[in-house]
Amino acid sequence: MYAPLAPGFFRPGAQSGPNGGQVDGMILWLAFAVMTAVAIFAVLWPLARRGDVNPGGSDLAVYRDQLDELDRDRAAGLIGEAEAQAAKVEISRRLLAAADAAQAEQSQSDSSALWRRRAAAVAGLLLLPIGATALYLALGSPNLPGAPLAARLKAIHQNSPIANLVAQAEAHLARNPDDVRGYEVLAPVYLRLGRVNDAVHARRKILALSGESAARQADLGEALTAAANGVVTRDANSAFERALALDPKELKARFYTGVAAQQDGKSEEAARIWQDLLANAPADAPWLPTVRHALATIGRPAESAAGSVASAAPIAGAATPSAAEVAAAGQMSEQDRGEMIRGMVARLAGRLKENGGDVDGWQRLMRAYIVLGERDKAQAAAADARKAVAGDPDKLRQIEDMIRSLGLQG
């Protein structure tokens, strides 16, 4: 199978369980409680510290200085003893009166400060958490259910830049359905994102709006091939043939024509198409490795008959032949090699009878019968696949998609 080629590749110059929400809610409320406790501590800590208490006011300091100065004057003989005693008594009386007044003022101040600290503590303990809770209930979303991890990751993916750009382009096309430029921008992006059905729709719209050209038909064929999991279906092959009718040198169409020949078991024809591409390719063509790899998958039929057999099995979707089978195939006739391939397909069919839930196996088997030209067997395999996966809607959808892509509805 071949993945879709890069846009313009052939153009010249181009975890969370069911209780996850509850756990998240508990963590959120725990974080709120811790932050509230820290805020309360920041308010109460300064209130728990007492300020420096001054035992006396400025008057007390002045009177003490006067007593000291009086003692110095008496010692120096500047004042008599009787006068010194009288002055000392008067200063001491004033000092005691000032001390009593300072003590009363300090007591009143302490009482007022204590009341203020208590009021601030009550406010911090009650008003702060109550106010924070009320503010959160008013502005927050406490009733919003927790989103599981898978849902959050999906939302991140959906909000990625490329997803946003695609959504904007799709909204623009919804308003302007005839804007061919919008479809030309989206079509290769769809292909890159794996939205192959959208890519097919975009390519058809481009053809309808702008008319056909070799490049547009080739792009449509590529999208149809991608939608069929790499199988060049009849619709895809018709698009490639139309592209070559318009321009026999259309490179992408020529390449996929070789893929179609390989899938039909015509390895020699596929090799001829791809070798012709290489023979006329510029030395720096970016698609040279892709064509060389395609040739390597089938070998050169003129050099090794086993090469075509070794490649036919993977394309047919059957089991890969062993080294001994490949070696023996070199000595087989064309009829014998065909029988060998059919034997591998038959083994795959037998395995699917035992393991009917293998969707990939059913898809390979249907492709194998189409490549072998046994359409009736492909339709029978489609019916068997439907029955085998009827109880699994997702697998049944994959089988139905493959049936439609191969044109096996009838």
- How far apart are the two ends of the chain, measured CA to CA in Å? 25
Mean pLDDT of all residues belonging to the chain: 74
Cα–Cα separations (whole angstroms), residue 186 to 71, 183, 230, 255: 104, 5, 21, 23
Query: What's the pLDDT score for residue 327?
Result: 43
pLDDT at 158: 53
DSSP 8-class letter at 332: -
Round to whole Å and give the CA distance between 324 and 330.
Answer: 10
| Cβ atoms of 249 and 240 closer than 8 Å | no
180 versus 336: which is more confidently predicted? 180
| pLDDT value, residue 305 | 33
The pLDDT of residue 405: 77
pLDDT score of 37: 76
Ordered alpha helix ranges (H), 123-195 = 128-139, 149-158, 161-175, 180-193
The predicted structure's pLDDT at residue 300: 45
**Which tokens in the block code for residue 375?**
């359409």
| pLDDT for the residue numbered 376 | 87
Q: In this predicted model, what pLDDT tens digit does every residue of 271-323 receive, in sequence order?
A: 899 888 888 887 777 788 888 888 877 764 323 333 333 333 333 333 444 43
Cα–Cα dist 367/264, whole Å = 10
Query: pLDDT category, 106, cuts 50, 70, 90?
Result: low
Q: Do residues 239 and 214 lie in contact, with contact meaning Cβ atoms separated by under 8 Å? A: no
Lowest-confidence segment of 13-22, 52-61, 146-155, 255-264 by average pLDDT: 13-22
Q: What is the pLDDT of residues 227-244, one digit of tens each?
A: 888 888 899 999 999 999
What per-residue confidence (pLDDT) applies to 255? 93
Closest to 301 (Cα-Cα) out of 334, 279, 263, 336: 334
pLDDT at 104: 65
- Report the C-alpha gap between 47 and 104 in whole angstroms: 23
Calpha distance 188→65 (Å, rounded): 97
Residue 183 in this model has a pLDDT that exceeds 60: yes
Higher pLDDT, 43 or 96: 96
What is the share, in percent, of the chain residues with pLDDT greater than 90? 13
Q: Give yes or no for residue 149 having a pLDDT over 70.
A: no
Question: Helices 234-246 and 251-263 meet at what angle, rounded to 10?
Answer: 140
- Give every CB contact of residue 7 below 8 A, 6+ residues apart in sequence: 14, 188, 191, 192
Average pLDDT over residues 83-97: 75
Give the integer Cα–Cα distance in Å for 245 and 122.
90
Q: Which residue has the tokens 């800590």?
A: 45
Q: How far is CA 25 from CA 36, 131, 140, 147, 161, in A?
A: 17, 20, 13, 10, 30
What average pLDDT does this structure show over 148-166?
61
Q: pLDDT tens, 10-68?
A: 665 554 444 444 555 567 677 777 777 777 777 667 666 655 445 445 666 776 777 77
- d(CA 401, CA 394) in angstroms, rounded, equals 11
- pLDDT-above-70 percentage for the chain: 65
pLDDT tens digits for range 379-401 = 899 999 999 998 888 889 888 88
Query: pLDDT at position 304, please?
Result: 34
Segment 201-211, tens digit of pLDDT: 999 999 999 99
Nearest to 403 by CA among 369, 353, 356: 369
Q: Is the pLDDT assigned to residue 173 strictly greater than 60? A: yes
Q: What CA–CA distance (Å, rounded) separates 339 from 395?
A: 31
Dihedral sign computed on CA atoms, order 170, 171, 172, 176: positive
The 10 Å CB-count burial string (b at 16+, else e) for 353-390 is eeebebbebbbbbbbbbbbbeeeebbbebbebbeebbe
pLDDT at residue 338, rounded to an integer: 63
